[in-house]
Amino acid sequence: MRIGIIGAGALGGTFAVLLERAGHEIQVTARGSGLAAIRAGAIRLSGGFGDGHGHPDAAPTLSGAFDLVLVCTKAQDAEDAIAANAAVVNGSPVIVVQNGLDGVRTATRLLPDSDCFGALSIIAANYTEPGVVRVTTRAATYLGRGSGPADPASKRWAAVLSEAVPVIAVDDFIGSQWTKLVVNMLNGLPAITGLSVQEIIADRGLRRVLTASMREAVRTGMARGIRFGSLQGLSDSRLRFFSRLPLVLGQALPRSMGVRMGSVPNLGSTLQSLRRGQRTEIDFLNGAIVREADAAGAKAPVNAAIVEQVHEVEASGTSIGRDEVLRRIAVR
């Protein structure tokens, strides 16, 4: 198949190398130093899916006809990135590989003739330098759309992609986006402190804040009438049970996520943006919880504080120390 990938960063680069390895013809979009690195050599992948090189065609925008297009930008860049490629992509099937709640909606609005799907990846990938990606956790990606059972087209694309990388067609994609949003509470504190996800989970005080942000996310979803989709052992009933636990017991949830992640330090995708001097996705992660809580007539103060501190780090370029974070975010 001829597959286009918009955004050859951490996940886009991973998919590009693995899909090329599975025999597909790949074109990626890239810019600046990333484009120069791919054109001069390759995308170099290491870690969880083995070491390899991909030699995709690379250009600032896609060209030609595609059997499938993956959108692999951060949520805040998706609109611009899809719009810049819409003339070529509209009409082709599109899978938006993205965290947050908005990806499929944005693609469907901008690409009215495309069949649009979403993908929620549990892979942890670190874009260490232009054209270079290290997978720190090998894991599955969940693909689907809407809120019903996985439809035949989702199953078909999951099967095609699974020849390269494990992809599971998931029921109730919208509920699963919420479950992934709860997982993505892992992103904010590394972005604030500069610590890895594993270091946050290992720290008693920061783990309490993380647990409180997750509990707030689950309670917000419940207030919005969400039934959480099942991802990686996290089910609706498990998350509802978690939402009723005191923090001291609820900490078992982030601990179990840490165990699944393994010991290779994972920065999370939000801290990676900061390290590259880029805007972060935080308004679409913890920020989405704050907006959804507001819509439910409730509050999400822990998530609001995390959003505020990530924006502070974006503006100052300096991390906030662990003790200061704990002084500013009191959790009970």
**Interface ranges with ligand KPL (CB under 6 A):** 99, 122, 124, 183-184, 186-187, 266, 268-269
Q: How far apart are CA 275 and CA 138, in angstroms?
A: 23
Total binding residues toward ligand NDP, as defined by CB under 6 A: 30
Query: Which residues in 287-296 are b (16+ Cβ under 10 Å) and which e?
Result: bbbbebbeeb
Contacted entry of ligand NDP, ligand KPL, none for residue 193, CB cut-off 5 to 8 Å set by kind? none
Contacted entry of ligand KPL, ligand NDP, none for residue 10, CB cut-off 5 to 8 Å set by kind? ligand NDP
Q: How far is CA 110 from CA 49, 119, 224, in A?
A: 33, 18, 26
Q: 4, 7, 118, 194: which one contacts ligand NDP (CB under 6 A)?
A: 7
Q: Binding of ligand NDP at residue 81 (CB under 6 A)?
A: yes
Per DSSP, the residues of 276-305 read TT---SGGGTHHHHHHHHHHTT---HHHHH
Count of other CB atoms within 10 angstroms of residue 170: 26
Contact call for residues 169 and 144 (beta carbons, < 8 A): yes
**Of all residues in this chain, which one has the CB nearest to ligand NDP in the complex?**
9
- Which residue do the tokens 């008693």 mark? 204
Whichever of 109 and 275 has its CB closer to ligand KPL, that residue is 275
> How crowded is the C-beta side of 282, counted as CA atoms within 13 Å?
27
Minimum CB separation of residue 324 from ligand NDP in Å reads 26
Q: 27, 73, 154, 280: which one contacts ligand NDP (CB under 6 A)?
A: 73
Instruction: Choose the binding region for ligand NDP from 119-127, 170-178, 217-225, 306-314 (rule: CB under 6 A).
Output: 119-127
Say whether 118 sits in a helix, a strand or coil.
strand
Show the binding pattern over residues 18-37: x = contacts ligand NDP (CB under 6 A), - = does not: -----------x-xx-x---
Sequence letter at residue 140: A
Q: Binding of ligand NDP at residue 44 (CB under 6 A)?
A: no
Sequence letter at residue 235: S
Q: Binding of ligand NDP at residue 97 (CB under 6 A)?
A: yes
Q: How far apart are CA 298 and CA 281, in angstroms?
A: 23
Residues near ligand NDP, by CB under 6 A: 6-12, 29, 31-32, 34, 72-75, 77, 80-81, 84, 97-99, 121, 123-125, 127, 269, 273, 281
